[in-house]
Amino acid sequence: MGAQTIDFRSWRLLQPAGLVWRCWDDEYIVFHPWSGMTHYLDAIAGMVFELLLDRAATVHDLATALAALADAPATDTLNSVVQQVLRRFDAIGLAEPMP
Amino acid sequence: MTRLGAAPQAALRTQFRTVGVRLRLAGLCFNLRTDIPAVIEHVLDMYIGHEVEAGTGINDFRVYVSYTGPFRRFVRRRIQVFIDSDTIIEPLPLRFACLALEAALNACINSTASKLLLHAAVVERDGLAAILPGPSGSGKSTLCAALVMRGWRLLSDEHAMLRPADGRLQPVGRPISLKNESIALIRAWASDSHFSAIFGNTSEGTIAYLRPPIDSVVRTLETVAPALIVLPTWRVDVPVTLEPLGKSETFRLLADDSMNYHTTQRIGFDTLAGLVDSCATYRLSYGPLAQAVDAMETLASRMRTERASSISATATA
């Protein structure tokens, strides 16, 4: 595997005012009105979603915030997990990198 | 309006064969027409407490169970079912005619767009409604039948119909479909149970329908707020266990097994999320039926007590 490209872009939710969700048992269930899809977000994806509800953020910002919540260091692994979550959000039309 | 059992039976038999009988089910009007004697007798026996509407009027669905051709009533007899003139069940042997009618009624209810439809049995006692979701074979219909024969009101053994406007459950009140060992089990459980003919050698084994108690049928206009979701799982010789079921998992199970969640969009999400928010959620594993019924009775009793205490505390605050 090659070295992972670092993503310095800020990410934001797409039209967050139209999203509806519930959070139960640390899992977010998000209904996406434009696709009509329901997305089930696990604990980490749910926390990324919750942080993006507040404001746009970079991978580094999000990993740092998650690490603080878990009282753990922001490792490269965590950065990589956040990046994968954001790519998935992008694929399903939930979030996008800001220009 | 008159109940089917109180209407002149000979005239009804003629009406089934000619213009059809207009039967009210789940708040809908079905025009049922058939020239097949077994189907006529099945409806007269199983839907005895349902209301029939006289004359003409708006039919939500027209269901016609017929022989496949003029000679098929005599030779290698086969039937087909039409809903609103479209064939929805292709030719089947005559012995499946009653099952085909019940399947057609399910299809009609499944196409009702104004409610969120979950694949679940629903029962109610003293204002506490319990939704029992689960696929075929999970034991939900058996548990539903056992509770109903112990005095719970039957809303449905197949469809939990939720009104989006207020989240209340619309009763359906149709016969309970039981399969294989469950038929003998419920016969032994309740000596006053009344069954349809038994239909053997189907793709799901042996099937029979349990006639709903008249009280449940008479109260089909009384909606009720859901309070409890219990996911039953039947396994041979397993002692009863009742444990909390996560809300998120409950939502996913109900959405995945819903007839129309994925087409009802935002309304479906809000209705289902509101349901899960408002209900206590459990998983019930059971073997002996009596233990499962006891567990449900105990849980419901505890919830009623908690509800009464909560109301009392609010009133005195």
Q: Judge whether B107 is closer than 8 Å to chain A, CB to CB.
A: no
Closest CA to B291 of B165, B146, B161: B146
Cα–Cα distance measured from residue B276 to residue A22, given in angstroms and rounded to the nearest whole number? 10
Q: What are the structural domains, with CATH classification, of chain B?
A: 2-110 (no CATH), 116-316 (3.40.50)
Residue from the list B252, B270, B276 with its beta carbon closest to the beta carbon of A40: B252
Does B281 or A2 have the greater pLDDT score?
Answer: B281
Band (B266; pLDDT cuts 50, 70, 90):
very high
Q: Which residue has the higher pLDDT, B181 or B72?
A: B181
Handedness of CA B179, B181, B182, B186 (dihedral sign): positive
Q: Is B127 on the interface with A (CB under 8 A)?
A: no
Say if the Cβ atoms of A29 and B248 lie within 8 Å: yes
Instruction: Tell me the nearest-neighbour CA distance from A36 into chain B, angstroms.
Output: 6
Asked whether residue B72 carries a pLDDT value surpassing 70, the answer given is no
Question: Which pLDDT score is estimated for A2?
Answer: 45
Q: How far is A62 from chain B (nearest CA, A)?
A: 24
Per-residue pLDDT, B160: 96
pLDDT for the residue B89: 78
Residue A73 confidence (pLDDT) = 85
Q: Which of these ranges, A3-17, A65-79, B18-32, has the smallest mean pLDDT?
A: A3-17
- Which chain B residue shows the shortest CA-CA distance from A42? B248
Q: Which pLDDT score, from 0 to 100, does residue B236 have?
A: 87
Q: SS3 for A43?
A: helix
Give residue B58's pLDDT: 86
Q: How far apart are CA B135 and CA B283, in angstroms?
A: 14
Does the CB of A43 have a partner CB in chain B at under 8 Å? no
**B36 touches B93 (CB < 8 A):** no
Q: Could A36 and B265 be called an inter-chain contact, meaning their C-beta atoms sit closer than 8 Å? A: yes
The per-residue pLDDT for B309 is 84
H-type helices in chain B, by residue range? 9-17, 37-46, 97-110, 140-148, 181-189, 214-218, 247-256, 265-278, 289-316
Mean local confidence (pLDDT), A87-99: 94
Residue range B263-277: average pLDDT? Answer: 96
Where is average pLDDT lowest: B151-165, B267-281, B296-310?
B296-310
Average pLDDT of A35-62?
Answer: 95
Mean pLDDT of B77-92: 86
| In chain A, % of residues over pLDDT 90 | 73
Q: Between B292 and A71, where is the model more confident?
A: B292
CA distance A40 to A29: 5
Say which range, B45-54, B151-160, B306-315, has the weakest mean pLDDT: B306-315
Give the lowest-confidence range in A56-65, B73-82, B152-161, B273-282. B73-82
pLDDT at A57 over 60: yes
- CA pair distance A26, B71, nearest whole angstrom: 64
pLDDT of A1 reads 43
Q: Amino acid letter at A86?
A: L
Greater model confidence, B75 or B195: B195
What are B197's two structure tokens? Answer: 């003919």
**Number of CB atoms found within 10 A of residue B260's CB:** 15
Give 3-state DSSP helix, strand, coil % of chain B, rounded to 5: 35, 30, 30
Q: How many Cα atoms occupy the beta-carbon half-sphere of B131 within 13 Å?
A: 33
What pLDDT band is residue B168 in, cutting at 50, 70 and 90? very high
- State pLDDT tens for residues B107-152: 999 888 789 999 999 999 999 999 999 988 899 999 999 999 999 9
Residue B73 pLDDT > 70: no
In the block, tokens 């009802």 appear at: B264
Q: How far, CA to CA in Å, does B284 sit from each of A65, B133, B134, B138, B139?
A: 39, 11, 11, 11, 10
* Distance (Å) of CA B274 to CA A38, A42, B16, B110, B179: 15, 21, 42, 21, 33
| Chain B nearest-CA residue for A34 | B265
- A31 token code pair: 């209904």
Are the beta carbons of A52 and A98 closer than 8 angstroms? no
What pLDDT was estimated at residue A89? 97
Q: Percentage of chain B with pLDDT > 90?
A: 83
Instruction: Tell me the chain B residues in contact with residue A36 when contact means C-beta distances shorter than 8 Å.
Output: 262, 265
ipTM of the complex: 0.87
B255 and chain A in contact, CB less than 8 A: yes
The residue with greater pLDDT, B148 or B74, is B148
- A24 interaction partners in chain B (CB closer than 8 Å): 246-248, 251, 276
Q: Over 80: is that where the pLDDT of A5 sits? A: no
Query: Cβ A29–B251 below 8 Å, yes or no?
Result: yes
Question: Quick one: closest CA in B to A23, which residue?
Answer: B248
Give the closest of A22, A27, A36 to B273, CB-based. A22
Please tell me which residue of chain A has the smallest CA distance to B251: A29
Q: Starting from the edge strand earliest in sequence, which strands make up the sheet with A57-58, in order?
A: A57-58, A10-13, A95-97
Site of tokens 């809303």: B155
- As a residue count, chain B comes to 317
The secondary element (H helix, E strand) that includes residue A62 is: helix A59-70
Beta strands A10-13 and A57-58 are antiparallel
Residue-by-residue DSSP string for B223-286: -B-EEEEEEEEE-TTPPPEEEE--HHHHHHHHHHTBSSGGGSHHHHHHHHHHHHHHSEEEEEEE
Q: Which residue has the higher pLDDT, A25 or A1?
A: A25
Which residue in B141, B313, B305 sits closest to B232, CA to CA?
B141
User: Within an 8 Å CB–CB cutoff, is residue A17 touching chain B?
Assistant: no
User: Rounded to whole angstroms, how far apart are CA atoms A46 and B200?
Assistant: 50
**pLDDT value for B71:** 61
Give the mean pLDDT of chain B. 93
